[in-house]
Amino acid sequence: MKIIFATHNLGKVKELKQILDVSDVEVLSADEFGVHEDVVEDGETLQENSEKKARFVFEKTKEWTVADDTGIFISALNGAPGVRSARWAKENGFDQGIMQYALLRMQGVPKNKRSAYFETAVVLISSTGEEQVFVGRVNGSIVTEPRGAVRPTLPYDTIFMPEGHTRTFGEMSDQEKNQLSHRGKAFEKLREFFASK
């Protein structure tokens, strides 16, 4: 069985392959299947954006398709950046990086008011067009300065510390992060779905 991941991000494809690890499932990126266009992610929710991406690729391939969207929701910023996590800084005229903008906006916020959560919505479309949604969430807080390694396209990892831990996602190995993370939880539900088929 082939699953087309509606993304051009090879890091995400690698992560899904590691988590799924189901011998009869082959995960391919949209690019590998010849779909190179981008979808405008203008949904009001993570699920809406995931649905748009999955449906776009499904219409072109008619294969099993999966798409995800992730946001970080910071309490002290009234839930911002949320669904706009990837473009939030630029939308506000800040060109020095998303993570730097988040820290700038959080200046002066005391430690006990720095709660945040990451959420991922994964949409799966079967080859017959049926849709399933899997959601993963992890609570935590925003640290006061970046800690750990910066993962390409995952800038918030260095400032987000999951609840019950003393290290940021940036200070964890990929394997450690996958066991805890929002995306890991959503993909694990996806894995369980396939395991039960």
Give me the catalytic one of 21, 69, 95, 157. 69
Q: Give ∠ CA 120-12-173 in degrees, rounded to 5.
A: 90
Residue ranges of the alpha helices (H) in 67-116?
88-91, 98-105
Q: Give ∠ CA 99-165-182 in degrees, rounded to 5.
A: 60
Active site residue 69: yes
Residues in CB range of 40: below 8 A, 6 or more apart:
52
DSSP 7-70: -S-HHHHHHHHHHH--TT-EEEETGGGT--PPPP---SSHHHHHHHHHHHHHHHH-SEEEEEEE
Q: What count of Cα atoms within 13 Å lies in the side-chain half-sphere of residue 136?
A: 20
Active-site residue set: 69
